[in-house]
Structure 1
Amino acid sequence: MNCTVLGCGRWGSFLASFHSRRGRVVLWGRSGSRSFETLRESRKNDYLTLPEAVVLEEDLGRALAASETVIISISAQQLRGFAARLNGHPIAGKTFILCMKGLEEETGKRLTQVMRESLTQPVGLAVWVGPGHVQDFLAGVPNCMVVDSDDRALTRRIVEQFQSELLRLYIGTDLIGTEIGAAAKNVMGIAAGLLDGKGLSSLKGALMARGAREIARLIRAMGGNELSAYGLCHLGDYEATLFSPHSHNRRFGEAVARGEQYTLLAEGVPTTQALVRLGEAHGVELPICETVYAILYRGVPAEEAFQRLFFRSAKEEFYV
């Protein structure tokens, strides 16, 4: 099973390493980037050593030509520009799998929407999301994830192709819900970190319940299945995001609450703004997302923002 992985960060390098057990994998990275140069010099990064079956490639055209199945694992906010670059190569008929989570900050659009708008050639397109950290997978700890697309046959083929004893894949049936849920869990991760940073970790149970509920309302308003919020894309990913020491989003929120700097990528930051815009556009209250937004974008102190959240008018628990 040959495939190409575009993006050599921790998730991209792990996927390339893991899938190379079944065949040749080409791992593309941008020449001059720290991640790619580190791998090129030593075939190692902070997490793993690349097997011999992984071929490092800096030429995008050669990387794309190597396989019919292409995994993309880059920052969500870079996707539109990167997709435009793909148009310069013969990619018609290939299958692209987005192993990334997020929404376009300026438009609130889902990543498959960004890809469809940007590509000028017909391709198969799917997302692969869910819980799991590279550190745990490398330690042999298995987890469950979900693959989704607007083509049921394509979804099944990807699941059958990549299913393994370490990664149990489920067949998704709600692309809208899967993408919104996966992106939104990063915002909940920031909220969890804010609670941790303020010594309010006992509230994370309530955050899980209320967070999933408000995202379910948004998914339904957007035409998806609200039950997706309680599946692997969102609620199923909470342990890895709200509690894990490996979670960049949780650690970012904790740093903000403590007035500290955090330099690693936290995809939940731009996603917070995108979700607030979607909530306004669809007339859906998103109190937790709006609280995180107030802290990150308006400079409202966490204590004040939390107080506003807690003193909202009383609601029925499962209000529409």
Structure 2
Amino acid sequence: MKLSVLGCGRWGTFLASYHCAKNEVLLWGRPGSRGLARLRAERRNEYQALPDPLLLGDDLAAALAFGPVVVISISAQQLRQLAAQIQQHDVKGKTFILCMKGIEVATGKRLTQVFREEVAQPVKVAVWVGPGHVQDFSAGVPNCMVVDSDDPATTDFIVNNLSSDLIRLYKGRDLIGTEVGAAAKNVIGIAAGMLDGAGYTSLKGALMARGAREIARLIRAMGGNELSAYGLCHLGDYQATLFSSHSHNRQFGESFIKGEPFDRLAEGASTVQALVRLGEEYKVDLPICQTVNGLLYNGLSADEVIPRLFSRSVKGEFDY
């Protein structure tokens, strides 16, 4: 099978290399991209060397025409712009797999909603999310991830054809819950880093429990299955996001509290604004998201806010 990967960051580059084991793959990067320039010059990035058969290119039309499956791995907030470019080409009948996690800040919409708003042609759309870091996968450490779509047949096709011993794919059956849960885990990851930075690492267990519960309430209010919050898309991704030294979101949260610079992409920093918006829209209390948002954007004091985060009014653990 032929497939293209759009986006040559660390995850997109890994996915292109991963799919090369069984498929013909073209990895696309934006014209002038520093990442693509390095890959062309050195056939590697800081995480891995590219397999010899992997093709590289910056022609979007050629990448979209290359095969029936197109994987997208870019910043979530850039998806609408890229989708609008994709709409300018004939992509009817193709399968698009969104391999990123986020919610559009400007609209509060899930990524599949954003994509379908811009790409009006009859295409199949799925998300591929869950735990795992490039560093671990590149070292041969396996993990499990989840694929979800509004079309079960599309989910089945992807899982049956792209799963392997390195990445075992599970079939999601709740697109709302899968997308919201995957996006929200990055926000909980920032909160975990903030706890680390403030010296409250021992509270990360409580953060895991209350974070999953908080996001479950939001998923339920949005019409999804609240149990998705306890699956691979969210709780199943906590180890990789709340504890791992590889997690950009956890590192960002810790650096923010310590007042240190951080120059890597942390999707949760944008997503938290969208989650707070959704909480207001669906009338769901999101104390952890609101705290992270307040610290990042409203000038709240970490010394005052973080110790109070888990000392709210007494109530049943599973009360709504």
Aligned counterpart, 2:231: 231
Instruction: Determine the C-alpha separation between the residues in 1 that align with 2:315 and 2:56.
Output: 54
TM-score, normalised by the number of residues in structure 1: 0.99
Runs of 4+ in 1 over 6 A off after TM superposition: none
Instruction: Determine the C-alpha separation between the residues in 1 that align with 2:206 and 2:239.
Output: 14
Indicate if the aligned counterparts of 1:189 and 1:241 stay in contact, CA closer than 8 A. Answer: yes
Alpha carbon RMSD of aligned pairs, Å? Answer: 0.8
Instruction: Determine the C-alpha separation between the residues in 2 that align with 1:316 and 1:169.
Output: 35
1:182-210 deviation per Cα after TM superposition (whole angstroms, max 9, x unaligned): 00000000000000001111100000000
Aligned counterpart, 1:216: 216
1:42-98 deviation per Cα after TM superposition (whole angstroms, max 9, x unaligned): 111001111111100110000110010000000000000110000111101100000
Instruction: Determine the C-alpha separation between the residues in 1 that align with 2:267 and 2:46.
Output: 20
**Paired residue secondary structure (2:37):** helix
How many equivalent pairs are there? 320
Any residues of structure 2 matched to 1:171-190 within 5 Å, and which? 171-190=171-190
Indicate if the aligned counterparts of 1:294 and 1:305 stay in contact, CA closer than 8 A. Answer: no
Instruction: Determine the C-alpha separation between the residues in 2 that align with 1:317 and 1:183.
Output: 24
Any residues of structure 2 matched to 1:1-320 within 5 Å, and which? 1-320=1-320
Deviates more, 1:39-48 or 1:169-178: 39-48
Indicate if the aligned counterparts of 1:14 and 1:134 stay in contact, CA closer than 8 A. Answer: yes
- Which runs of 5 or more structure 1 residues have no equivalent in the other structure? none
Deviates more, 1:203-212 or 1:27-36: 27-36
Indicate if the aligned counterparts of 1:5 and 1:25 stay in contact, CA closer than 8 A. Answer: yes
Percent identity, aligned pairs only, is 67
Measured after TM superposition, the shift of residue 312 of structure 1 is 2.2
Deviates more, 1:33-42 or 1:123-132: 33-42
Instruction: Determine the C-alpha separation between the residues in 2 that align with 1:192 and 1:311.
Output: 17
Instruction: Determine the C-alpha separation between the residues in 2 that align with 1:304 and 1:155.
Output: 45
1:109-164 deviation per Cα after TM superposition (whole angstroms, max 9, x unaligned): 00000001111211000000000000000111000000000101110011001010
- Which runs of 5 or more structure 2 residues have no equivalent in the other structure? none
Instruction: Determine the C-alpha separation between the residues in 2 that align with 1:65 and 1:266.
Output: 31
Which amino acid is the alignment partner of residue 177 of structure 2? G
Which amino acid is the alignment partner of residue 8 of structure 1? C
